[in-house]
A and B are shown apart, each in its own frame.
Chain A
Amino acid sequence: MAIKKLRAIFKGHKQQENDVNDELGFHLERQIESNIAAGMSPDEARRRALVDFGGVQQTRETLREVHRGHTVESFLQDCRYGWRMLRKSPAFTIIAVVTLALGIGANTAIFSLIDAVAFRSLPIPDPQGLIIFQWQAHHRPETNEYRGGGDCRSNLAKGNGCSLPLPFFKDAHAQTGIFSHLAAYSPAQLLDLGGNGTAQVVRGDFVSGDFFPTLGIHSHVGRLLTEADDAPEAPAVAVLNYEFWQKAFGGSLSAVGKAVRLNGVSFTIIGVTEPGFDRLTLANRYDIWVPMAARAVLVPDWSAKDEQLDHWSLIIIGRVKPGVPVTQAQEAVSLLFRNEVLHGAKPIFKAEHEPAIRLAAAAPLFAETQKGALQPFYVMMMCVGLVLLIACANVSGLLLARSAARQREIAVRLALGAKRGRLIRQLLTESLMLSIMGGALGLLLAVWGARLLMVLVSAGSFDPPGFGPRLDWRVLAFTSGVALITGIVFGLAPALRGSDIGLTSSLKSGEGGLDGGPRSRSRRFSLGGMLVSVQMALAIVVLVTAGLLVKTLANLRHLNPGFDTQNVLLFSVDPRMAGYKGPQIDNLYRDLQEKLSSIPGVTSVTYSWMPLLSGALSSTSFHRPGTPPDSKDQVDSDELPVGPNFFKTLGIPLHSGRDFTSADFATAAANSGDKPGLAPTPVIVNQAFVRSYFPDSDPLGARFGDSAPTAPGEPKTPGFQIVGVAGDAKYNSMRREVQPTFYDPSTGNNAVFELRTAANSMLIVPAVRNIVRHESEDLALSEISTQTEAIDRQLSSERITAQLSAFFGLLALVLACLGLYGLLSYEVTRRTREIGIRMAVGAQSHNVIGLVLIKAIALIVSGATVGIGVALGVTRFLASFLYGVKAGDPLTLVAVTGLLAVVALAACYIPARRATKVDPLVALHYE
């Protein structure tokens, strides 16, 4: 029925034209008939009729004009009238606009973040024109080394990726007829920057000479890299990122021309990129760019390998020459590619793998890498969507109550000949005005809210998030769209209902009369009641979502990770960047460990390859202990190289056996060389390891992980021998269950220090810096934080989703209760007379309270029932976000429903109390 009504309101243009044609045609026919009746021949009659009739086309045009003028005029009239009505009841208008602003604002804020991550174009000119080389094949490449990551995701198993070898880039680069620009760059590489105050770790990027021209990025000061800089004999130069220049060099112009040390090698800064360009994808910020040729001095061990065809590590981007079809360019480079990978000294692919190069648009592939960052935002989008629906239902309820109050006005207008369609349009115009005002205010809230979100998102992270919400056209379009749809959604039902009035009964009795059209009365209440139930149901869904996410965060926070996380300071020192090698590294660490232990307040010092709960993980596989070395029965274990005193410092209990001795470290160092020693490396395993691999035997002294000799006469590798069993401790993440793990003596590796302090561990940072600086000017401290901060950082996504969903859950609860309160107040006002009569004939106040409460309870119960059902369905999609709690967790459901019921009943209390205060005399004189 509603649809038919709607169609009548927005009657199609076509329909109107047809009506006009029919009407004019009928007129003409009647004229012809009348002419015939007057004695003319049929032909003559038709001719005369047409002449008399005059310009039909002109009349049509005039009629069209009449209708068009009318539409505009009546729209303006509706607006003026609507504005007057809204101004007449400012309380209603303010409540409705604020409610809508909260709903629309929350949606806009979340959308602006999604927009920033997913839809914002690359920060370069003409981003569509940028192409990226993607290799494709039916098989994974037989490379010696494949380094993926960076700005483009590789999927070796599926046979595609973006990392390619340097020789291929050089050949493609020589194809000057196809590409106007072609550049290669490596994934970001941590470098040690010295010669500018305290040494620090920066994110560097090796780029070929044409990198900046390919992107179309210009210099802010100085100049950027050119092809001439990317030559082996060229002077060592570097380009700074604008933001890094601001941060590390204070934006000083004297930075250009300054000599700094990267990994101990002198480089001259030649320029700064223009502001706004600091990365191509969110995960990969660059502080400094150096020419590809500089790899020879910065990372000599790679550079030699990278000249080979079986080391794939470069991303190739470019722009095709204008006029050259992409397919043609693609065929040309594919041919080149096939030649190299099929017919090299060591073929990477076989012919049947059909290797090829696809020249893909770079932007979508770059965007692909940051999809994961969006997951929590989608959950938030669902929450705010529901909040908006609740806001709609709320305003809808308000309008409904108001349209009841306006019954007489509407009835009078109907009586005066106003058409229903026109009235509905009028009421819809009013609700659209509300939603547009709500949208405008919501936009302001969103700007502020999005900033708040950014503070939340970036709290405690080393790296700023790299995107900021901005009001671009997509956000504005989204908000306007949401506001318009909202206006129609909440306005339609009350408008249809409001204009559907029995004329005489409404005119005779005002609102609130006992005799006033029982049919429309009961129906109106059921629509209002339905709106409240819907709000309750939606609020339950949002609250259950929030409850599950909050519980997940609490579970993860209160989880015992198996070691003492309090008062532990973490920081990273990577001596390899400063030129240390092998045994030098071990000596440095041992030396640092000793000096750091002497800082007052430090109780114990150790180091390990990575700190615990940092996200980093190393694991290894070996034949199952107890099977022969060539057994196919392979098992996995996590592995963490640690320094002396690791277990004591972190508070991981040793259940049996002993801690590492210096002899153990010597054995490990001997085994790490090219020719392993004969003694097995001593390791300490955790209890999970014992449970999995030595369930029935004593693990102490047991050996595992040895391998058969690779050639006859060669000694077999000795593997590991268990010297101790430690308690289970989480390794990389709170979410991951403790796996079988062995700890081996760290040697030749970079490492992160762990310092246990007696009190606030951040206080000793200056002392730590001092000691490290004394050791060497080129040693950079990085990633300084406490263990608890590291855990918080790891849980940041959980924290944000939990905090936001809790906030939106609260908002939903408040809105739903306002809706309930509003409806019941209206109900009490409407029934004032009835209640008065009841009290006059002896009803007690508790009877009256019961009368009101029963209605409320019915609404709450029906809403809650539906809400729980929907929540059970919806939260199943949350499973991947949850930890230690099931999607349909009964406790959460009960708690949320209980909370909602209590708050909702509280919202009923005031109207119910007011009902008992009704004075029978006043009520009976109410009319």
Chain B
Amino acid sequence: MGNQIELLQGTLDLLILKTLALEPMHGWGIAQRIQQISQDVLQVGQGSLYPALHRLEQRGWIGSEWSTSDNNRRAKFYSLTRAGRNQLEKELGEWERLSAAIALVLQQS
């Protein structure tokens, strides 16, 4: 567990949007998916995950719906809204420019 990285403010939002772009998912599923894909580097605790989800929902970027999960229990599923899709594209663009810029600076030295 020593090789985990603290997520930057705002980065979690991007990851959530990206994850939800694939399919609607509940909170636990989102956390699992991010952990798996990052090969356990990024671990998302519920203490930051749920506030982020609720904030995104209030901005209208994701929607939510209660329905039955794969193990037949009631769970709150989040999905990307149209506005959220636009936002994801915008943030992806920004992220790419940011990481490219950081890479440039780091290569220089």
Q: Chain A residues in contact with chain B, CB under 8 A?
A: 19-20, 22-24, 26-27, 29-31, 33-34, 52-56, 58-59, 62-63, 66-67, 70, 74, 415-419, 422
Contacts and interface: CB of A to CB of B under 8 A. Distances in A.
Interface of B: 26-28, 31-32, 45-47, 50-51, 54-55, 58, 60-61, 63, 66, 69, 71, 73-76, 81-84
A66 B58 contact: yes
Nearest to B85: A417
B75 to A, nearest CB: 5
A54 B75 CA distance: 20
Given A19-B76, A26-B28, 7 more contacts: A23-B50, A24-B46, A26-B69, A30-B71, A31-B28, A54-B47, A59-B46
Given A58-B47, A66-B58, A415 B82 contact: yes
B107 to A, nearest CB: 38
Given A31-B28, A418-B60, A55 B54 contact: no
A331 B80 CA distance: 77
B74 A22 contact: yes
A59 B52 CA distance: 11
A33 B71 CA distance: 11
Given A19-B76, A23-B27, A416-B82, A66 B55 contact: yes
A62 B55 CA distance: 11
A63 B51 contact: yes
Given A417-B82, A417-B83, A417-B84, A63 B76 contact: no
Nearest to B81: A417
B60 A417 contact: yes
7 contacts: A22-B74, A23-B76, A27-B46, A34-B32, A59-B46, A62-B50, A416-B60
Most buried by B among A74, A417, A422: A417
B28 A27 contact: yes
Most buried by A among B32, B50, B66, B84: B50
Contacts of A34: 32
Contacts of A30: 28, 71
B73 A26 contact: yes
Nearest to A20: B50
B54 A66 contact: yes
Contacts of B82: 415-417
A23 B31 CA distance: 13
Contacts, number: 71
Given A63-B54, A66-B58, A417-B83, A26 B47 contact: no
Nearest to B87: A417
Most buried by A among B27, B51, B58, B66: B58
Contacts of B83: 416-417
B91 to A, nearest CB: 15
Contacts of B74: 22, 26
A24 B50 contact: yes
A416 to B, nearest CB: 5
Q: Which 4 pairs across A and B sit closest by C-beta, in order of nearness?
A: A417-B83, A417-B81, A417-B60, A30-B28
A724 B83 CA distance: 100
B47 A62 contact: yes
A625 B26 CA distance: 101
B71 A419 contact: no
B80 to A, nearest CB: 9
A868 to B, nearest CB: 50
Contacts of B81: 417
A115 to B, nearest CB: 43
A74 B60 CA distance: 12
Contact of A29 (B46, B51, B73, B76): B73
Contacts of A66: 51, 54-55, 58
A22 B46 contact: no
Contacts of B71: 30, 33
B2 to A, nearest CB: 16
Nearest to A416: B83
B73 A59 contact: no
A26 B75 contact: yes
